[in-house]
Amino acid sequence: MTKNTVVAVNIVVAVDGPVAAGKGTLGRRLAADFNFAYLDTGGLYRAVALRMLRAGAALDDVETMVAQAKQVSLSDLDDPSLRDEEVGEAASVISPQPALRAALLDYQRNFAARPPKGAAGAVLDGRDIGTVICPDAQVKLFVTASVEARAERRYTELLRRGEAVDLGTIQADVAARDARDSERAASPLTAADDAHLLDTTKMDIEAAFQAAQKIVAACM
């Protein structure tokens, strides 16, 4: 499949995996390569978390959480504050809430079924795309890497943004998020039975992208 190739039918690519595995970068590059629309579903939860933090709402205030979720739009995903560590931690705390996940379910499914700007397909990345949001997606990727590799990537990202961070703290946070995501009752993080596993521990972004691109092209 060559760059900017357009296909004739609506294709859904589900990209799942734990925090800092590189699925967001892969999702964006795949969407650009295949002319698909892209949705960072984790960004939706971060957007809700950011709205709650700015409103001074408690992270266990389900009523406010759901109300904020109903106001989220794609424009919220452009806020640079979404990448703040505080926002990511808050998003991890609220994301297991079943009422919140239900409030965002239709938004994600509508995006996949009717990609914006007439795109021929959609790439969604998150934790439960291939298992819950789009179980019938034509292509499913489960992107992972070791805790150590993911912590190092997150550490480097935050350093480049000028944030004062500690690698040990980041690694502990990544492990804690993995536990929360995998053990939650609502839509736990797990690979779909028919997902293609892509371990990026020893891959740079270009190698990971080439591997993912081949998988997507072969499934279409």
Q: Which residues pair with 121 in a beta bridge?
A: 11
- CA 86 to CA 34: how far, in whole Å? 33
pLDDT at 121: 95
pLDDT at 1: 43
Q: Which is it for the CA torsion 138, 104, 189, 176, positive or negative?
A: positive
pLDDT at 9: 53
Domain ranges of the chain: 11-219
- State which residues of the chain have pLDDT below 50: 1-8
**Tokens 């500690």 belong to which residue?**
166
pLDDT at 7: 41
pLDDT at 6: 40
Domain 11-219 has CATH 3.60.90.10: no
pLDDT at 164: 84
pLDDT at 131: 95
pLDDT at 158: 87
CA distances from residue 213 to 1, 27, 149, 163 in whole angstroms, order as listed: 8, 10, 22, 33
How do residues 2-28 score in pLDDT, each as one tens digit? 444 444 458 999 999 998 899 999 999
pLDDT at 177: 87
Q: Which of 154, 113, 141 is nearest to 213 (CA)?
A: 141
